[in-house]
Amino acid sequence: MGELRVMGGSESLAPPPPRATALLARLLTVPRRQTRERLVELLFPDTSRQGGRRRLSDRLWLIRQALPGLPLHATDEWLQIPADE
């Protein structure tokens, strides 16, 4: 797919750290609610459930720090970046 480039209108924004790009790419390319459990299974298949949820939370924090204006919706059960936002 190549290097991730994040655009904010017509300007290029700094992407989140590399370890968070897989989560961001998944949320952007699948614009529906995704359970945290499923994301842990996809992104951290060799990690315990608890460890995977910690890693997912870490990646989510990195994305929010790098892209504070991103319309990321999150609950304890699911994450989503709506396509219309």
> What is the pTM assigned to this prediction?
0.84
The secondary structure of 2-56 as a DSSP string is ----EEETTEEEPPPPHHHHHHHHHHHHS-S-EEHHHHHHHH-TTS-HHHHHHHH
Is residue 16 very low, low, confident or very high in pLDDT (cuts 50, 70, 90)? Answer: confident
Mean pLDDT for 7-21 is: 79
Distance set, CA 44 to CA 5, 57, 83 (Å): 23, 12, 25
pLDDT in tens, 29-51: 998 999 999 999 999 999 999 99
